Structure 1
Amino acid sequence: MGILEKYFKLSEKKTSVKQEFLAGVITFLTMSYILVVNPNVLSDTGMDKEALFTTTALATIVATLFMGIYAKLPIAQAPGMGLNSFFAYSVVLTMGYSWQFALTAVFIEGIIFLLLTFFNVRELIVRNIPKVLKEAIPVGIGFFITLIGFKNAGFITSDANTLVRIGDFSSHNVWIALVGLIITGILLIRNINGAILIGILGATSIGLILGDISLPSQIISTPPSIAPIFGQAIQPMLSSEGWNQILSIDMLIVVFTFLFVNLFDTIGTLIGVVSKTGIADEDGNFPEMKKALFTDAFGTTIGSILGTSSVTSYVESASGVASGGRTGLTAVSVALMFGLALFLSPIFLMIPAAATAPALIIVGLFMISSIVKINFNDLSDAIPAFLTIVFMPFTYSIAEGIVFGVLSFTIYKFFTHKKSEITPTTYVLTFLFILKLILDVLKI
């Protein structure tokens, strides 16, 4: 206890070991749904679902421990929602690349993020990306994730004439998801910790009652092997064909999208959560900002090697902070909880996609909140923001939303005498995105 007191300065932060531990448990309860959702999402690419469970837990443990011990902040990290959807449904299932290619992109993103953090380039990037696009991108991702949740739930289905239509409500999957959505919504409204996880478990119970799933023969088990996906991020680097893909425009777009979303998602989460601890200034800056960003980059790099999509700071950490978490000991506690969960894989792996669909829908709701910050009275802002948002769900691609958002922003500002709002970084991105479109048209 004396070592913990001295290292984390518990008395100075007006907290205790017990308070930090309980805060960590609460944070774990609010974000442990990722152990179910991440394997379900990424396994759609052909990745081994059981290996993904272990990798998700390990990446969370490593990154969160590093955040707690190195940055000493009460913030947990895990594979990010939105980023995993982009990985699976855009890069692999839409663009047609292998999941190994996508892991390589995550690995490259992590390395770039490390370099940007080391050389203090973060501030430069933040200043030069149009603010309206920063607000629009989370909204588009929110709708994109909601669409995936609706599809997994069976709320919607494809139609040859109208593209989509209402799903078959005689299907058990629909009712499993509906029950989960109702339970989750009620618990969230009542501010119950662990609402999303409880909703998933409630939906799974309906699946058990309906006979769609069955209880595993054992509850406690050795964690599944990660051998099927471990180290695959560096495999494309070992062949000339792999390097052709790595040096392609598509890889540049994919890496940029991972980097862009992860960077601003992390910054937003860090500023929002840390501000509740009382150590941030009026601009949202705090002493350990660089260490926190470095931790995020480290987590993404290690996560890609283990075999998962980008790791990011979790806004659910705010629940632990609200419960009294003030130091990195809270994060250490979260990591310990995920360590215990590693041995409960039979329970987590039996949960069907329909039961996790409500989690996707609710996370989509949380992500669209920044839409209120967009100035729709200025059409030179509103149109690019709108295109950014709608291109993501309607093209089933987060990357396309960013591409057409940046292109439209530059075009409308340039031809409406607002060139001063276009930064050099935006011009560079516009050039690269136009080049990509030309190569797509020419089938190169």
Structure 2
Amino acid sequence: MNEMTLPQTNSADAAPKSVEPSGPQGPIDRLFGLSERGTTVGREVMAGATTFAAMAYIIAVNPAIMSNAGMDRADLVSATALAAIFGSVVMGLWANLPLAVAPAMGSNVIFTYVIVKQMGMPWQGALAMVAFTGVLFLILSLSKLRERIARDVPEALKIGIQAAVGTLIVFIALRGAGLVVQNPSTYIAMGSLRSPPVLLTLAGLLFTPVLVARRVPGGLILSIAVLTLIGFFVPGVNGKMVTSMPSAILSWPRWPTSTFMALDVGYLISHFVVALPLLFYFLCAEFFSTLGTLIGVTGAANLRRPDGSIPNATAAFATDATASIVGPLLGTSVVTAYIESITGVQAGGRTGLTSLTVAAFFCLALFFWPVFIIIPPQATAPALVLVGVLMMQGLARVDMTDLVNAVPIVLTLLVTVLTNNLINGMALGTLSYIALEVSMSRGGRIPAMVWGLGVVFIAYAFVTAQIF
């Protein structure tokens, strides 16, 4: 998951004891450097299974979210798994790091609810925009601009955007499950406690955090499975149960025919100015998510070099970028490295063989697509709430007594949620940051990138005012 932070672990405690090769090194050992990194094939496979359990929820959650954009849910299950397989295999073979890759949480919400449902962009045009972002990210990954962006974007803007997306995920999850409803007097209100689906959601909101807090392996996917099973016995609307019966348990994998190569590049070109702020969001979200994940996972695995640099960092960034080009071709949003990979590191994963194992489990998941498409929103909402909460952990690093930090963050977060529009929040957050720095006679400290972003948001406001 890409855009969230898990509790940090002591890397020394997480590191396994060195394993000395007991005999001649085989081809797998030589390919991945198992002996060099003090690990074994068995340990890597176990680590891959652990990572998959921690991130398998994406197979259910990503299609549940993106199907609201009008895309076929069954095809989205296949596209999600195929994108994860491609990204994880390339990460394992090219970067040789224990990093699993899959469609990013947060970006799928923006894709569906901001770009498609609010802005009215067809999902085909939105896929083209994501693919174009992947191309930009690939160029960035292979150049020295990567270090400059990491240095120049202010922490307040990065944290504000991430926290805003996390809050928006929570709101959308609760609304989709019926726990938050419209009210003519107060605009929003709590759903009826007489409603069995609402009660199921409430039970999940209490049950799921307990699993995660107690570090139950695969806590999120376990929560989704339990709530889905209970849904077979909970009455929903129109006399039907919350969870409907699947057509089958196992079935041959289906190719995502309706979404494969469905990109509308022409729409992106004709609406490029409107798409520009979103291109910036996807680019920054993917870049900083990958950077944070690389730092966290390689640190926990004791893989950083003595000078603190990350081995094969360029290959890891380029893998994320390439996967974010292939993902939209298959029919899904931004693809990124998952911070849940830390769970595999804690189980002993140290090489790309861990990533290949994750890819193998996603291959198996393709045969269970009939089950994934019947998972109800009441089962996925608690997992989404946990994802949103974890995405807001960056707020702990902010000095809220400094208005230059506090105002942009609060405006970005609240305006995004209250207007249900990320661009509104990003615009006010960025412009307020510029105004505060200028008022403090510190305009010279504002990076050129931020000035440019301010101009983009003003141009965006003007163009959208003429269109809408």
Q: TM-score scaled by structure 2?
A: 0.91
2:300 counterpart residue number:
276
Report the secondary structure of 1:170's partner residue: coil
Deviation at 1:134, TM superposition (A): 1.4
More helix per residue = 1
1:223 counterpart residue number:
253
2:270 counterpart residue number:
244
Deviation at 1:442, TM superposition (A): 4.0
> Does structure 2 conserve the Cα–Cα contact (< 8 Å) formed by 1:271 and 1:285?
no
For 1:40-68, what per-residue CA distance to the aligned partner results, in whole angstroms no more than 9, with x for missing partners?
Answer: 10000100111000000000000011001
Q: Within 5 Å, which residues of 2 pair with 1:99-114?
A: 99-114=123-138
Distance 1:283 1:40 in 2: 43
Report the secondary structure of 2:336's partner residue: strand
1:377 counterpart residue number:
401
Q: Given the alignment of the two structures, is residue 184 of structure 1 paired with residue 217 of structure 2, yes or no? A: no
Report the secondary structure of 1:13's partner residue: coil
1:123 counterpart residue number:
147
For 1:327-367, what per-residue CA distance to the aligned partner results, in whole angstroms no more than 9, with x for missing partners?
Answer: 00000000000000100111211111111011110001111
Distance 2:424 2:300 in 1: 35
2:242 counterpart residue number:
212
Report the secondary structure of 1:78's partner residue: strand
Q: Given the alignment of the two structures, is residue 295 of structure 1 paired with residue 325 of structure 2, yes or no? A: no
Taking a change above 3 Å as real, the CA distance of residues 134 and 281 of structure 1, as seen in their structure-2 partners, is farther
**Counterpart AA for 2:303:** I
> Does structure 2 conserve the Cα–Cα contact (< 8 Å) formed by 1:57 and 1:339?
yes
> Does structure 1 conserve the Cα–Cα contact (< 8 Å) formed by 2:276 and 2:456?
no
Q: Within 5 Å, which residues of 2 pair with 1:15-414?
A: 15-210=39-234, 211-233=241-263, 235-237=264-266, 243-245=269-271, 248-280=272-304, 285-414=309-438
Point out where structure 2 has 5 or more consecutive residues left out of the alignment: 1-24, 235-240
Q: TM-score scaled by structure 1?
A: 0.95
For 1:295-346, what per-residue CA distance to the aligned partner results, in whole angstroms no more than 9, with x for missing partners?
Answer: 0001100001111000011111110011111100000000000000100111
1:3 counterpart residue number:
27
Taking a change above 3 Å as real, the CA distance of residues 125 and 166 of structure 1, as seen in their structure-2 partners, is same
Distance 2:293 2:188 in 1: 34
For 1:15-35, what per-residue CA distance to the aligned partner results, in whole angstroms no more than 9, with x for missing partners?
Answer: 100000000001101100000
Distance 2:29 2:289 in 1: 31
Deviation at 1:242, TM superposition (A): 5.5
Taking a change above 3 Å as real, the CA distance of residues 36 and 317 of structure 1, as seen in their structure-2 partners, is same
For 1:130-163, what per-residue CA distance to the aligned partner results, in whole angstroms no more than 9, with x for missing partners?
Answer: 1211122211111111101111221110112211
Taking a change above 3 Å as real, the CA distance of residues 87 and 217 of structure 1, as seen in their structure-2 partners, is closer
Distance 1:243 1:142 in 2: 30
For 1:227-262, what per-residue CA distance to the aligned partner results, in whole angstroms no more than 9, with x for missing partners?
Answer: 1111112x333xxx65312xx311111211111111
**Counterpart AA for 1:236:** V
Q: Given the alignment of the two structures, is residue 432 of structure 1 paired with residue 461 of structure 2, yes or no? A: no
The CA RMSD measured in Å over matched residues stands at 1.6
Deviates more, 1:262-271 or 1:179-188: 179-188
**Counterpart AA for 1:273:** V
Deviation at 1:443, TM superposition (A): 4.0
State the aligned residue count.
438
Distance 1:280 1:178 in 2: 43
Distance 1:83 1:151 in 2: 18
> Does structure 2 conserve the Cα–Cα contact (< 8 Å) formed by 1:181 and 1:199?
no
Report the secondary structure of 1:437's partner residue: helix
Deviates more, 1:396-405 or 1:42-51: 396-405
Taking a change above 3 Å as real, the CA distance of residues 167 and 283 of structure 1, as seen in their structure-2 partners, is farther
> Does structure 1 conserve the Cα–Cα contact (< 8 Å) formed by 2:128 and 2:268?
no
Point out where structure 1 has 5 or more consecutive residues left out of the alignment: none
Taking a change above 3 Å as real, the CA distance of residues 116 and 204 of structure 1, as seen in their structure-2 partners, is same
Deviates more, 1:159-168 or 1:399-408: 399-408
Deviation at 1:284, TM superposition (A): 5.7
Deviates more, 1:221-230 or 1:394-403: 394-403
Distance 1:112 1:291 in 2: 15
Deviates more, 1:180-189 or 1:63-72: 180-189
